Copies of this chain bind each other. A is one copy, B any other.
Amino acid sequence: MSSPAGGNSSARPIAIIGGTGPAGSGLGLRWARAGESIIIGSRDAKRAEEAASKTRQKAGVNANVSGMENADACAAADILVLTVPFESQAGILKQLKASITEGSILIDATVPLAASVGGRPSRPLGVWQGSAAQQAAELVPKGVSVVAAFHNVSAELLNGDDPLDCDVIVCSDDPDAAQLTRELAAKISGVRPVDGGKLENARIVEQITALLIGMNIRHKGHAGIRITGLPPNAYR
């Protein structure tokens, strides 16, 4: 991640669980373009391979993107990004528990929206643990660090070619995992990472997505957020 040249760090692949959805495929595309080695995970290996092929076409000839069934993707990487609908999150984590290697980092981008239970996408659901990310932290094996990030980035814009106009707020109780995630965020053109503090703060960051979705519905936009007023060292 932190190679001095800022180049290809394919020695450490990134597995995107639920990587065939809009958010996962958009993150995969952006990171593939930045030279990262990407494994797109799906419940269905064939779908994963098709998505990987599409991402390779969009990202360019040198892109390092493969597709695997979710459990194989977990076993092949120690940086995992979870981009699934909230209603699938707990089930998938339970199912993948045995495949997640100790020492892995799980970057959770899950947003608990009422749409998961037939309600509005502009309303958050209350999660007993406080947030979807904290629910994830309860479900991963021991020795796996959970980071909450990438909730507020428009999936549609991620799948495009333009630089984004959005900051990524990163919350975690593991400072090293948070820093690695901030470095990954900074690899997306136009994105600045912001230290959001402890994992418990994910409950606020997740809810911001519901607010942005409401704005998108009312104004037909692709809303994102920028954090202003912090010194430069807060954005790395």
Residues of chain A at the chain B interface (Cβ within 8 Å): 122-124, 154, 157, 165-166, 169, 194-197, 200-201, 203-205, 207-208, 210-212, 214-216, 218-231, 233-234
25 example contacts (A-B, Cβ-Cβ < 8 A) are as follows A122-B201, A124-B204, A154-B229, A166-B228, A166-B229, A196-B214, A196-B215, A197-B211, A201-B214, A204-B207, A204-B208, A204-B210, A208-B208, A216-B230, A218-B234, A219-B230, A219-B231, A219-B234, A221-B230, A223-B230, A224-B229, A225-B225, A225-B226, A225-B228, A226-B228
Given A204-B210, A208-B204, does the pair A223, B229 have CB atoms closer than 8 Å? yes
A108 to B20 Cα, complex, angstroms: 43
How far, in angstroms, from A142 to B218 measured CA to CA in the complex? 28
Q: Is the interface of A mostly helix, strand, loop or mixed?
A: mixed
